[in-house]
Structure 1
Amino acid sequence: MIRPEKTVIGFVGTGVMGKSMATHLLHAGYPLIVYSRTKEKAEELIENGAQWVHSPKEVAEKANIIITMVGYPEDVRDIYLGETGIIKSGNENTYLIDMTTSTPTLAIEIYEAAKKKGMHALDAPVSGGDIGAKEAKLSIMVGGDQQSFEAMEPLFKHLGTNIIYQGQAGSGQHTKMCNQIAIASNMIGVCEAVVYAKKAGLDPDSVLKSISTGAAGSWSLSNLAPRMINGNFEPGFYIKHFMKDMNIALQEAEAMGMETPGLALAKQMYARIVEQGEENSGTQALFKYWEME
């Protein structure tokens, strides 16, 4: 069992979700070292007792558990495998937990590089968006050595409620791709339902009350459809990051010889609203696709 008094957690990436996740660990009593490319995003954490450092290298030198929650696979690669990255700069027996949605191939590469250094790497992407992060109710999908997972499971319980070990390195990322594939087609259906309700002259809020608890129910229908109805397109999860995830899933599916027509359609639709400048909106902004017709 990990003990706060014997643990120093480094947290890299304090954006929409990372900030809430790091806050839960701070409140749980763990000494916390934080780094983010934009220091302002970490100010609240610093005010509450987190220590700021100026690079992932400094995080690696000071922490014995390091969590990363950043934007893109290229960021992950640089943070872990760069010349001044975590693996080269860190200490033996450090636990490395990448919670970014990244590629299974990169997760395996990090795992193997960490193992050569005597470190323990897990790929542990999450689902649940800004709400799940704030409420510590994330779904956490973990790949890597089972012994490492079991050692870190108490830590994960401060961040989520559905924590599942999926198998060897890369398995967490593959599972997250399953999640994103399901969300992509589902989001089209959620948007279509809301647009249909409005065009039929119905009260969309009343419609949601009827359909969100039935067979059509989904997280997106319950949590994102109300935002669409209220014209709230602030990001719980950025479209630009979802585009990245869909590209990864399409590439992985193609490598396995699998067709993904639903995913391909969703990517086309999102690409169209990105052309209209919506890349920094939340994924629920797909709703605006119908305004373009």
Structure 2
Amino acid sequence: MPERIIGFIGLGVMGKSMARRLLKAGYPLFVYTRTKEKASDLLQEGAVWKDSPKEVAEAADIVITMVGYPEDVRAVYLGGEGLIPNGRPGQFFIDMTTSSPALAQRLFAEGKKRGIHLLDAPVSGGDIGAKNGTLAIMVGGEEEAFREMLPVFETLGKRIEHMGGAGSGQHAKLANQIAIASNMVGLCETLVYAKHAGLPMEKALSVISAGAAGSWSLANLAPRILAGDYSPGFFIKHFIKDMKIALEEAEKMGLALPGLALAKRLYEALAERGEENSGTQALIKYWDGSGRE
């Protein structure tokens, strides 16, 4: 498939690593992001700059988007300079942003009117998974389109599942975020308890990770906490956005999710104290004094 031209929009913490993997796999790559400087290293490596989503749509056969918020997705796809108004029949547009299931369904419907294939394909695995090509990818949309795009997904991820129709990928990602939210609260409480009990922290982390409490977050984010590394593999501000969407969807279903609601309140407290651009592991600051009044 590398003969197909890919456009990539959104070169943040994860998007840039994902775009780089496509470039190294041999795909001709056109890129756009709101701040051109973020693309400078990719341009040196062979990517080609475009000045707008419209120009990306005109140049590429497949366009992948990895932006911040549902309103960004809406603008990139439906604005006058957006992808769908400037797309053509037979193209594939893949939104890998964590966004609204309802918006994913709307984009699918708008694309279908123009003969464009739309897939919602949010990911999990953080900056590590993006760099290593080991992301979990949850895909919604038509199965035929999913199968045709599978080689692209396999460049980016390790566990790739077609979840159903349009919006299903987003619902699966929201379920993923619900699990992570409560897990992060438990992880931080674990470390706080172990520290106050006077345990040797590295040993405690090692033995707990090897047992039933083991998780991706414990293995990958707890060591960052112990090292005082709060750089973002995933921004707190984006995680709050994801939790907000999940709670809104749960309300539509008549579901109460108290664990998720608690995690959202804790993260919002940190964001109000200036931690919105820290990684999600910075939740520990709620307890250690630097994130409290």
In structure 2, which of residues 71, 75, 79 is the aligned counterpart of residue 82 of structure 1?
79
Residue 40 of structure 1 deviates from its aligned partner by 1.2
Q: TM-score, normalised by structure 2?
A: 0.98
Residue deviations 1:100-125 (CA, integer Å, cap 9, x gap): 00000000000000000000000000
Tell whether 2:71 aligns with 1:102. Answer: no
Q: How many residues are treated as equivalent by the alignment? A: 290
Tell whether 2:23 aligns with 1:26. Answer: yes
Tell whether 2:271 aligns with 1:283. Answer: no
The aligned counterpart of 2:190 is 193
Alignment check: 8 A CA contact 1:142 1:172 kept: yes
The aligned counterpart of 2:70 is 73
Which aligned pairs between 1:149-160 and structure 2 lie closer than 5 A? 149-160=146-157
Residue deviations 1:153-212 (CA, integer Å, cap 9, x gap): 111000000000000000000000000000000000000111111111111111111011
Tell me, what secondary structure is at the counterpart of 2:273? Answer: coil
The aligned counterpart of 1:140 is 137
Find runs of 4+ consecutive structure 1 residues off by over 6 angstroms: none
> Distance in 2 between the 1:35 and 1:272 partners?
33
Residue 147 of structure 1 deviates from its aligned partner by 0.2
> Distance in 2 between the 1:207 and 1:30 partners?
45
In structure 2, which of residues 48, 51, 58 is the aligned counterpart of residue 51 of structure 1?
48
Residue deviations 1:27-70 (CA, integer Å, cap 9, x gap): 11010000010111111110010000110010000001000000
> Distance in 1 between the 2:274 and 2:216 partners?
26
Tell whether 2:243 aligns with 1:246. Answer: yes
> Distance in 1 between the 2:25 and 2:67 partners?
22
The aligned counterpart of 2:34 is 37
> Distance in 2 between the 1:171 and 1:277 partners?
34
Structure 1 residue runs of 5 or longer lacking an equivalent are: none
The aligned counterpart of 2:110 is 113
The aligned counterpart of 2:178 is 181
The aligned counterpart of 2:2 is 4
What's the Cα RMSD here? 0.7
Alignment check: 8 A CA contact 1:14 1:41 kept: yes
In structure 1, which of residues 246, 253, 256 is the aligned counterpart of residue 253 of structure 2?
256
Which amino acid letter does the alignment assign opposite residue 277 of structure 1?
A: G
> Distance in 1 between the 2:136 and 2:210 partners?
20
Alignment check: 8 A CA contact 1:66 1:97 kept: yes
Tell me, what secondary structure is at the counterpart of 1:118? Answer: coil
The aligned counterpart of 2:221 is 224
Alignment check: 8 A CA contact 1:138 1:162 kept: yes
Residue 81 of structure 1 deviates from its aligned partner by 0.8
Alignment check: 8 A CA contact 1:224 1:284 kept: yes
Which amino acid letter does the alignment assign opposite residue 176 of structure 1?
A: K
Which amino acid letter does the alignment assign opposite residue 195 of structure 2?
A: K
> Distance in 1 between the 2:276 and 2:70 partners?
18
Alignment check: 8 A CA contact 1:64 1:91 kept: no
> Distance in 1 between the 2:200 and 2:119 partners?
46
